[in-house]
C-alpha cells in the first residue's frame, strides 16, 4: 500500500502513546516526527513543513482540563496556520475537543483509539491540508494572472475592424453578469477574451476557474463540477469542492464546451437553471453565484441539428455571443502581433533588441496560419530563443513546409484554399478524421461533407 505524501508531527508526553501511534501510522504516512512536549513545536513545524499535528490536550501533572492544549492550538493557528491540528483527548474531554474545533482544529480523536479511526482521521486532515493548498494555489495563480495582464494594457492586440469590435463588446458587457459564449477557431484568443471579461468585471477580486471540458470524463464530471462529500467514493476522506463552488462569487469559464456529451450537458443545464448544485453523495444543495463564460471552436447550431448539443443549453449559455476572427481573416493585425510578441519574448529571455529581416512581414501575410494567433506566438517565441543575431529571419518563423505554400497562396480562390487546408490538416493528423476536424475547428460531419465536396473521400 502506497504512503501518503506529507509530514505528521505527534505531540504527547506519554512515550507509549507516541510509540503506538508512530508504529501504526508510519505504514501510511511518508514522514513522522515526534515531540514529548509542545514547547518547541512551532519551530519544528516551520522547519519541517509539517502538514498535520496530532496534539495531546494535557501535559502537566494533575492537569486534565485541556487548557494547555487549547492554548497551544491558538498559538499554532496564529503562528503556523498552514498546519492542520487533530486533538487527542480522553472520553471525558469530548466537549472540550468540540471547543477546540471551534478554535480551528480540523478534528479530534479519543483515547484509547481504534487504529482504523486514528488513520482515517489523520488522513482526512492531510487531505484537508492538500485541498486548502490547491485553493490557495488557484488564488495565487489568479492574482498573478491579474497582475501580469494588467501590466499588458491591451490584452487583445490588433487594429482590424473585427478585433476593434470585439474589444468594444468586451468593454460593454464586462461589468454585467450576462452569460457569454465565445466562438472561434483554435488559437484565436478565446481564453484571453474570457479573462478580459472577468478582470474588467465587479467579480475580478474573486476566482476565475477554468474547466477544459474536453479533459473531463463522464464518470468524473459530477464530482469535478459539483464536488463530493466525505465517503462518497473509495478513499475520499474529506469533502471535495467542485469547480462551481470554487468559482462562486467569481467566474466559471467552460472551455471547449462543445466536447460535453448529452448526459453531461443535461447535468450542467440543471445546475445553471437552478443556481444550485448537489455534491456527489450529498443530501443538501449548495447555492452558487457564478458568472458563466463558455467557449468552443465547434458549430453548436450544426451540432443541434445533428442531435449532439442541447438547444436549451445553447439558449442558456449565449446571452451574449462573441465571434473571434481567424488570423487569416485579419492580416492587417499580423505586423502588430509580431511586434508585440518579439518585444514580449526579448524581455522574457533577456535578449538584446531584435527585429525582422526586410520583407518578412509580406511573407508572413502569405501564410494562412491555421493555428491562428497561438501558432504565430509560438513561432515568434521559438525564433527569439534560437536566433543568434539581432535580425530574425523569416525562415526562422515559418514552418519548413510553408515556403512553397506562401509562394502560391495568392493565386488560390476560396474553394481551393479550403481544399488545401483540409488536405494539410489530414496530412498533419495522419488521416485521423476526428483530429483533423478539431484542427480545422469544425465537426466530423462538416468535415465529411467537405471531403465529399472536394472528392477527397
Only one residue has cell 487531505, namely 127
User: In this predicted model, what pLDDT tens digit does every residue of 366-399 receive, in sequence order?
Assistant: 899 989 999 999 999 999 999 888 999 888 898 8
- Residues of the chain with pLDDT > 90: what percent? 47
Domain boundary at 323, 342, 361, which?
A: 323
**Predicted confidence (pLDDT) at residue 148 exceeds the cutoff of 60:** no
> Could you tell me if 204 and 254 lie in one domain?
yes
> Could you tell me if 9 and 41 lie in one domain?
yes
> Could you tell me if 269 and 354 lie in one domain?
no
Q: Specify the number of domains making up the chain.
A: 4
> Could you tell me if 274 and 163 lie in one domain?
yes
Alpha helix stretches (DSSP H) within 35-184: 41-48, 67-79, 94-102, 115-151, 161-173
Mean pLDDT of the 297-310 span = 94
**Predicted confidence (pLDDT) at residue 238 exceeds the cutoff of 80:** no
Residue 408 has what pLDDT? 46
Distance CA 344, CA 354 (A): 11
Specify the pTM: 0.62
Lowest-pLDDT choice from 42-56, 239-253, 322-336, 436-450: 436-450
Burial annotation 402-440 (CB, 10 A radius, 16+ → b, else e): beebbeebeeeeeeeeebbbbebbbeebeeeeeebbbbb
User: In this predicted model, what pLDDT tens digit does every residue of 239-291 receive, in sequence order?
Assistant: 888 999 999 999 999 999 999 999 999 999 999 999 999 999 988 899 999 99
Question: CB–CB of 286/276 below 8 Å?
Answer: yes
> Could you tell me if 280 and 360 lie in one domain?
no
CATH code at position 431: 1.10.10.60
Domain boundary at 304, 323, 342, which?
A: 323
Closest CA to 374 of 422, 441, 435, 322: 441
Q: How many C-beta atoms surround the C-beta of residue 392 within 10 A?
A: 21
DSSP code string of 215-277? G--HHHHHHHHH-B-TTSSTT--S-B--HHHHHTTSEEEEETGGGS-HHHHHHHHHHHHHTEE
Residue 387 lies in a domain: yes
**Predicted confidence (pLDDT) at residue 443 exceeds the cutoff of 80:** no
Mean of per-residue pLDDT scores for the chain = 86
**Predicted confidence (pLDDT) at residue 69 exceeds the cutoff of 90:** no
> Could you tell me if 21 and 57 lie in one domain?
yes
Distance CA 365, CA 374 (A): 15
> Could you tell me if 214 and 350 lie in one domain?
no
Residue 172 lies in a domain: yes
Question: CB–CB of 107/239 below 8 Å?
Answer: no
**Predicted confidence (pLDDT) at residue 92 exceeds the cutoff of 60:** no
Three-class SS state of 107: strand
Dihedrals phi, psi of 321, to nearest 5 degrees: -115, 130
> Could you tell me if 177 and 270 lie in one domain?
yes
pLDDT band at 429 (very low <50, low <70, confident <90, very high): confident
Pairing label, strands 286-287, 276-277: antiparallel
Closest CA to 326 of 162, 138, 107, 109: 162
Domain boundary at 323, 354, 389, which?
A: 323
Residue 422 has what pLDDT? 84
pLDDT band at 419 (very low <50, low <70, confident <90, very high): confident
Closest CA to 404 of 420, 381, 418: 420
Residue 16 lies in a domain: yes
**Predicted confidence (pLDDT) at residue 411 exceeds the cutoff of 50:** no
Dihedrals phi, psi of 358, to nearest 5 degrees: -60, 135
Residue 142 lies in a domain: no
**Predicted confidence (pLDDT) at residue 49 exceeds the cutoff of 50:** yes
> Could you tell me if 256 and 369 lie in one domain?
no
Residue 258 has what pLDDT? 95
Mean pLDDT of the 296-310 span = 94
pLDDT band at 345 (very low <50, low <70, confident <90, very high): very high
Residue 257 lies in a domain: yes
> Could you tell me if 64 and 108 lie in one domain?
yes
DSSP code string of 337-359? HHHHHHHHHHHHTTPPP-EEPTT
> Could you tell me if 198 and 110 lie in one domain?
no
Run of H or E residues at 90: strand 84-90
> Could you tell me if 196 and 79 lie in one domain?
no
- Residues of the chain with pLDDT > 70: what percent? 90
Distance CA 111, CA 383 (A): 65
CATH code at position 100: 3.40.50.2300
Distance CA 245, CA 255 (A): 17
CATH code at position 350: 1.10.8.60
CATH code at position 203: 3.40.50.300
Residue 139 lies in a domain: no
Lowest-pLDDT choice from 69-73, 229-233, 359-363, 414-418: 414-418
Distance CA 16, CA 240 (A): 35
Residue 140 lies in a domain: no
Closest CA to 379 of 360, 368, 395, 363: 395
Domain that holds residue 431: 412-453
Amino acid at each position: 500500500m502506497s504512503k501518503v505524501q506529507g509530514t505528521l508531527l505527534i505531540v504527547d508526553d506519554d512515550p507509549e502513546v507516541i510509540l503506538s501511534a508512530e508504529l501504526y501510522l508510519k505504514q501510511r504516512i511518508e514522514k513522522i516526527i515526534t515531540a514529548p512536549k509542545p514547547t518547541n513545536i512551532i519551530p519544528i513545524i516551520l522547519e519541517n513543513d509539517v502538514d498535520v499535528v496530532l496534539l495531546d490536550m494535557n501535559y502537566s501533572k494533575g492537569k486534565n482540563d485541556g487548557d494547555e492544549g487549547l492554548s497551544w492550538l491558538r498559538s499554532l493557528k496564529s503562528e503556523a496556520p498552514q498546519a492542520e491540528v487533530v486533538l487527542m483527548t480522553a472520553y471525558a474531554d469530548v466537549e472540550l475537543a468540540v471547543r477546540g474545533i471551534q478554535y480551528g482544529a480540523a478534528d479530534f480523536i479519543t483515547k484509547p483509539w481504534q487504529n482504523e479511526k486514528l488513520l482515517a482521521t489523520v488522513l482526512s486532515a492531510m487531505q484537508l491540508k492538500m485541498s486548502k493548498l490547491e485553493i490557495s494555489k488557484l488564488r495565487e495563480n489568479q492574482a498573478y494572472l491579474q497582475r501580469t495582464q494588467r501590466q499588458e494594457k491591451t490584452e487583445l492586440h490588433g487594429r482590424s475592424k473585427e478585433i476593434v469590435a470585439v474589444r468594444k463588446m468586451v468593454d460593454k458587457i464586462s461589468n454585467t453578469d450576462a452569460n457569454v459564449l465565445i466562438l472561434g477557431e483554435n488559437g484565436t484568443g478565446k481564453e484571453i477574451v474570457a479573462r478580459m471579461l472577468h478582470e474588467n468585471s465587479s467579480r475580478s477580486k474573486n476566482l476565475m476557474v477554468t474547466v477544459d471540458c474536453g479533459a473531463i470524463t463522464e464518470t468524473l464530471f459530477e464530482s469535478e463540477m459539483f464536488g463530493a462529500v466525505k465517503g462518497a467514493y473509495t478513499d475520499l476522506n474529506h469533502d471535495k469542492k467542485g469547480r462551481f463552488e470554487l468559482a462562486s462569487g467569481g467566474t466559471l469559464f467552460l472551455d471547449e464546451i462543445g466536447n460535453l456529451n448529452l448526459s453531461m450537458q443535461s447535468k450542467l443545464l440543471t445546475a445553471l437553471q437552478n443556481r444550485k448544485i448537489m455534491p456527489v453523495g450529498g443530501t443538501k444543495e449548495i447555492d452558487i453565484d457564478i458568472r458563466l463564460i463558455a467557449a468552443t471552436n465547434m458549430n453548436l447550431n450544426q451540432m443541434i441539428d445533428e442531435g449532439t448539443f442541447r438547444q436549451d443549453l445553447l439558449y442558456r449559455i449565449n446571452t451574449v455571443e462573441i465571434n473571434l476572427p481567424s488570423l487569416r481573416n485579419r492580416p492587417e493585425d499580423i505586423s502588430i502581433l509580431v511586434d508585440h510578441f518579439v518585444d514580449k519574448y526579448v524581455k522574457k529571455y533577456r535578449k538584446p533588441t531584435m527585429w525582422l529581416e526586410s520583407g518578412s512581414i509580406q511573407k508572413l501575410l502569405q501564410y494562412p496560419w491555421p493555428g491562428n494567433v497561438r501558432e504565430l506566438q509560438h513561432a515568434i517565441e521559438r525564433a527569439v530563443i534560437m536566433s543568434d543575431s539581432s535580425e530574425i529571419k523569416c525562415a526562422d518563423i515559418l514552418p519548413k513546409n510553408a515556403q512553397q505554400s506562401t509562394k502560391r497562396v495568392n493565386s488560390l480562390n476560396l474553394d481551393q484554399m479550403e481544399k488545401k487546408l483540409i488536405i494539410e490538416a489530414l496530412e498533419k493528423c495522419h488521416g485521423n478524421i476526428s483530429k483533423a476536424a478539431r484542427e480545422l475547428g469544425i465537426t466530423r460531419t462538416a468535415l465529411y461533407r467537405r471531403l465529399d465536396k472536394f472528392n477527397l473521400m
